[in-house]
Chains A and B, each alone.
Chain A
Amino acid sequence: MITFRDHLRILDANEDLLTVAEHVHWDEETAAVAVEALKHDCKGLQFTSTSGEVDLASGIYAGHAQISSRTHQPWRRLKKALDREGDDYVQLLEAVSRRNTRAPDDIILEEPAATIKSSSNPASLGLPTVEPNGRQQITLGLIAVEHEGMTSWAPVRGAIHRRSQLRLSVPQPFIEWCGDNRQASISLGIAAAPLVTALQGWTLDRTTSAVPKLAAALGETAVVDIDGRTVPADAEVRLDGSIIDVNDGVSGPIAVWERGCETVGVTVEVDAIATREDPVVPFIPLGAPLTDDLHLTALVEAAELYRRINGYWGVSPVSWIRLPVEGRLGLCLVSSEILYSGFEWQLANVLFSFSDFFDKVLILDEHTEPDDLARALDDMWVKAHPSNDWIFSDPNAPAASIPRYRRDGQTGSRLYINATWDPQWDEEYIAPRVTFENSYPEDVRELSLEKWDNLDLKEKSND
Chain B
Amino acid sequence: MTVDSLRNYLQRLDEKNDLIEIEDRISWNLEASALTMLANEQDHGIPLFEDVDGMRLVGDPYRGSQRRPWDRIAQGIDLPRDISRQEFYRETISRLQNPRDPVTISSEDAPCKEITRVEDEVDLLEFPWPYIHAGDGGRYSNLHTLVVSDPDSDWIDWSYHRAMMHDNETASVLLLAGEQTPNLFYYKYEREDKPMPVAIAVGTEPAVQYTSVMWIPTGRSEAAFAGGLKESPIELVPCETNDLLVPATAELIIEGEIIPNIRLDEGPFGDYFGYMHGPRRSMPTLRVTGITHRKQPIIPFCVEGTGVGYTENSTSSMEVGCVGPDATLGLQAGGFEIDQCVPWSSTPRGAYVVSTGNTDPGYLHELANFIFTTWGMLHVDFFVFVDADIDPFDQREVLEALVLHADPDSDFHQFGVETMPKVPLNIYQTPSEKGNVQTGTSKAKTAKAYIDATRGNEDLDTSTVDNDLQNWARSILEDAGAKPDMLPFTDSAQRGGSR
Contact = CB atoms under 8 A, between A and B. Distances in A.
Q: A and B, one complex? A: yes
B463 A287 contact: yes
A37 B399 contact: no
A382 B428 contact: yes
Contacts of A415: 408, 412
A27 to B, nearest CB: 12
Interface string A441-463: 10011011101100101001111
Nearest to B65: A462
Contacts of B404: 328, 330, 402-405
B448 interface: yes
Interface string B21-42: 0101010001101110110011
Contacts of B306: 434
A372 B346 CA distance: 11
Contacts of A403: 403-405, 407, 459
Interface stretch (A119-127, A202-210, A271-279, A388-396): A388-396
A68 B31 contact: no
Interface centre among A359, A382, A438 (most CB of B within 10 A): A382
A387 B30 contact: no
B161 interface: no
B403 A328 contact: yes
B458 A406 contact: yes
B20 A457 contact: yes
A405 B474 contact: no
Contacts, number: 268
Interface centre among B26, B67, B276, B278 (most CB of A within 10 A): B276
Interface in A136-165: none
B310 interface: yes
Interface in B440-499: 446-449, 455-456, 458-459, 461, 463, 466, 469-470, 472-474, 476-477, 479-482, 486-488, 499
A40 B350 contact: no
B477 A289 contact: no
Nearest to A375: B309
B309 A374 contact: yes
Interface stretch (B73-81, B234-242, B252-260, B267-275): B267-275
A392 B473 contact: no
A407 B458 contact: yes
A327 B399 CA distance: 6
Contacts of B30: 439-441, 444
A43 interface: yes
B350 A382 contact: yes
Interface string B64-89: 01110000000000000000000000
Contact of A405 (B270, B405, B426, B473): B405
Contact of B470 (A22, A32, A408, A431): A32
A437 to B, nearest CB: 10
A359 B408 contact: yes
Contact of A429 (B397, B402, B431): B431
A461 B456 CA distance: 40
A463 B42 CA distance: 10
A405 to B, nearest CB: 4
A406 B407 contact: yes
B308 A408 contact: no
Contact of A327 (B26, B400, B448, B479): B400
B480 A22 contact: yes
Contacts of B278: 431
Nearest to B270: A434
Contacts of B276: 431-434, 438-439
Interface centre among B33, B397, B403 (most CB of A within 10 A): B403
Interface centre among A41, A415, A448 (most CB of B within 10 A): A448
Contacts of A29: 469, 473, 499
Nearest to A436: B37
Interface string A23-45: 01000110011011100111101
Contacts of A393: 408
A40 B449 contact: no
A327 B397 CA distance: 8
Nearest to A403: B404
A6 B381 CA distance: 49
A374 B348 CA distance: 12
Contacts of B473: 29, 32-33, 35-36
A386 B431 contact: no
Contacts of B134: 439-441, 444
A413 interface: yes
A370 to B, nearest CB: 14
Given A383-B427, A407-B458, A439-B134, A68 B66 contact: yes
Contacts of B347: 377-378, 381-382
A209 to B, nearest CB: 33
A445 B31 CA distance: 8
Interface stretch (A13-21, A81-89, A105-113, A262-270): A13-21
B185 interface: no
The secondary structure that dominates the A interface is loop
A324 interface: yes
B430 A42 contact: no
Contact of A455 (B20, B395, B409, B449): B20
Contacts of B481: 18-19
Nearest to B471: A36
Contact of A431 (B350, B407, B427): B427
B344 interface: yes
B301 interface: no
A441 B134 CA distance: 7
A90 interface: no
Given A69-B66, A434-B306, A451 B24 contact: yes
Contacts of B270: 434, 439
Given A386-B381, A386-B448, A433-B276, A439 B133 contact: yes
Interface centre among A37, A331, A395, A405 (most CB of B within 10 A): A405
A117 interface: no
B382 interface: yes
Given A65-B396, A385-B446, A375 B308 contact: yes
A68 B67 contact: yes
A425 interface: yes
B296 interface: no
Contact of B486 (A42, A405, A448): A42
B475 to A, nearest CB: 10
B417 A448 contact: no
Nearest to B32: A448
Given A403-B404, A460-B44, A462-B66, A387 B275 contact: no
Given A18-B481, A425-B430, A440 B309 contact: no
B304 interface: yes
B469 A32 contact: yes
A387 B346 contact: no
A377 B399 CA distance: 9
B407 A378 contact: no
Contacts of B132: 439
B316 to A, nearest CB: 11
13 contacts: A29-B473, A37-B482, A45-B480, A326-B396, A327-B400, A331-B399, A377-B344, A378-B274, A402-B403, A403-B404, A404-B461, A431-B427, A433-B275
Interface of A: 18-22, 24, 28-29, 32-33, 35-37, 40-43, 45, 65, 67-70, 287, 289-290, 324, 326-328, 330-331, 358-360, 372, 374-375, 377-378, 381-387, 389-390, 392-393, 395, 402-408, 412-415, 422, 425, 429, 431-434, 436, 438-441, 444-445, 447-449, 451-452, 455, 457, 460-463
Given A381-B344, A455-B22, 6 more contacts: A22-B476, A36-B470, A429-B431, A439-B134, A439-B276, A444-B30
